[in-house]
C-alpha cells in the first residue's frame, strides 16, 4: 500500500458524500499518492462537481487530477482509465444491487472484481479504519507457489494498512468439512483435517509472524466463515484474494469474493497475484 503512487477514485455524482473519496484521502494522506477522480457518465456534464472537488482537495494539500469518461460499460471505463493513468489502486463505493436485477444481470462491481488488473477497494461503510480491526482471509491449506504469493500479498497489505490506521490485524482461514467420499483419507475425518491444517498454520504463522490470538482457523465454506468473523470482530476492512485463471470469456474468479462483498458489513479490498494481473492487463489492452 505504501508503494502506491496514484489512486483512481470513482466519483458517484448522485452521492456527494463520497465514502470512496474519504478512504482515498486517508490512504493518500499517509502515502502521498496522487488522486485521479473519475466520473463515469455519458449523458450529463459533471465538470462543475469535479472542479469543486479538485479545488477543495488541492487546498488540503492533495495532488489531484479529474476526468469524465464513458467506454461501453462502467467496469470497462474504470479499467481503461486505470490503465491510461497507471493507477496502482482503484477505489469505488459499493451500492447493493436489486436482487431481481442481480439475478438477471451481472452487477458492475462483480465485473470489476473479475477484470480489474490492480488492487480494488470497494467501500461499503463509513466505519473508521483507525483503531479498528482489519480482517485478512487466506487459504492456508493451499501452499502452491501462486497461493503463497497471494498469501504474502494479502498479509503484507494487511500489516501495512493496520500500521497506517493503528488497527489490529486478524487472519481467517477456513478448512473443509469431512467428506466420506473424499479420495484422500485425510479429508474423511474431522480430526485429521484439523491436525493437517494446524500443522500448516504453524508454518504459516512462523513465516508471516501472526500469533495465535490473531489467527482464526474454522471449519466450513470460506465465504460463510469470512462473513462470520467480519461480523464478530466488527471488521472495518476485509481483505480477500483470488488466484483465478482467464478463460475464453475472460477472468473468472468464482463467487467467493462476490458473496463476501455482498455479505460483509465492512469495506472489501480484493487482491490478485501478479501473474493474474498481468493476464488481465493484456486482456484490457485487447479491447
pLDDT digit string (tens) for 228-286? 999 999 999 999 987 654 443 333 344 677 888 888 999 999 998 776 777 777 777 66
Q: What's the pLDDT at 248?
A: 34
| pTM of the entire predicted model | 0.86
State pLDDT tens for residues 95-153: 876 665 555 567 888 888 888 999 999 999 999 999 999 999 988 766 677 777 888 88
Domains defined for the chain, CATH in brackets = 1-93 (3.40.50.620), 124-287 (3.40.50.12370)
State pLDDT tens for residues 13-69: 988 678 999 999 999 999 999 999 999 999 999 999 999 999 999 999 999 999 999
List phi, psi (to 5°) of 235: -60, 140
Q: What is the DSSP letter of 71?
A: B
Q: What's the pLDDT at 104?
A: 56
Scanning the chain, the segments in alpha helix (DSSP H) are 19-31, 47-59, 74-85, 99-104, 108-115, 145-165, 190-208, 222-232, 256-263, 274-285
Kindly state the cell numbers that stand for 241: 484474494
Q: What's the pLDDT at 75?
A: 93
Q: What's the pLDDT at 202?
A: 81
How open is the CA angle 106-172-280, to the nearest 5 degrees?
A: 40
List phi, psi (to 5°) of 224: -70, -45
Rounded Cα distance between 90 and 113, Å, is 11
Residue 85 pLDDT more than 70?
A: yes
Rounded Cα distance between 154 and 260, Å, is 16
- Categorise residue 166: left if φ over 0, alpha if ψ from -120 to 50, beta otherwise: left
Q: What's the pLDDT at 240?
A: 92
Q: What's the pLDDT at 179?
A: 47
State pLDDT tens for residues 146-205: 777 888 889 999 999 999 899 999 999 887 564 444 445 544 456 676 677 777 778 888
CB 39 within 8 A of CB 11: yes
CB 150 within 8 A of CB 160: no
Strands across the sheet with 133-137, in order? 64-69, 34-40, 6-10, 89-93, 120-123, 267-271, 237-241, 133-137, 168-175, 215-219
Q: Name the 3-class secondary structure at 238.
A: strand
Of the two residues 3 and 185, the one the predictor is more confident about is 3
Residues 6 or more apart whose Cβ sits within 8 Å of residue 71: 77, 80
Kindly state the cell numbers that stand for 79: 479499467
Amino acid at each position: 500500500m505504501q508503494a502506491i503512487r496514484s489512486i483512481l477514485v470513482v466519483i458517484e455524482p448522485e452521492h456527494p458524500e463520497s465514502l470512496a473519496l474519504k478512504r482515498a484521502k486517508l490512504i493518500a494522506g499517509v502515502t502521498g499518492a496522487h488522486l485521479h477522480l473519475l466520473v463515469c457518465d455519458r449523458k450529463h456534464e459533471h465538470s462543475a462537481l469535479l472542479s469543486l472537488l479538485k479545488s477543495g482537495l488541492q487546498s488540503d494539500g492533495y495532488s489531484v487530477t479529474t476526468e469524465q469518461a464513458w467506454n461501453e460499460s462502467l467496469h470497462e471505463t474504470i479499467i481503461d482509465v486505470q490503465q491510461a493513468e497507471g493507477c496502482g489502486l482503484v477505489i469505488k463505493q459499493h451500492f447493493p444491487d436489486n436482487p431481481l436485477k442481480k439475478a438477471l444481470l451481472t452487477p458492475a462491481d462483480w465485473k470489476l472484481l473479475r477484470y480489474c488488473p490492480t488492487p480494488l477497494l470497494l467501500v461499503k461503510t463509513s466505519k473508521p479504519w483507525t483503531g479498528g480491526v482489519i480482517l485478512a482471509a487466506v487459504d492456508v491449506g493451499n501452499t502452491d507457489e501462486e497461493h503463497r504469493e497471494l498469501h504474502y500479498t494479502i498479509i503484507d497489505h494487511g500489516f501495512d494498512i493496520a500500521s497506517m490506521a493503528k488497527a489490529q490485524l486478524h487472519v481467517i482461514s477456513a478448512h473443509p468439512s469431512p467428506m466420506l467420499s473424499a479420495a484422500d483419507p485425510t479429508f474423511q475425518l474431522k480430526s485429521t483435517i484439523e491436525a493437517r491444517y494446524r500443522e500448516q498454520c504453524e508454518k504459516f504463522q512462523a513465516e508471516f509472524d501472526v500469533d495465535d490470538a490473531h489467527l482464526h482457523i474454522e471449519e466450513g465454506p470460506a465465504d460463510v466463515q469470512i462473513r462470520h468473523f467480519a461480523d464478530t470482530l466488527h471488521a472495518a476492512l476485509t481483505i480477500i484474494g483470488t488466484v483465478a485463471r482467464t478463460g475464453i470469456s475472460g477472468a473468472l474468479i468464482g463467487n467467493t469474493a462476490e458473496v463476501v462483498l455482498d455479505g460483509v458489513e465492512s469495506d472489501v479490498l480484493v487482491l490478485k497475484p501478479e501473474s493474474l494481473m498481468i493476464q488481465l492487463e493484456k486482456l484490457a489492452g485487447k479491447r
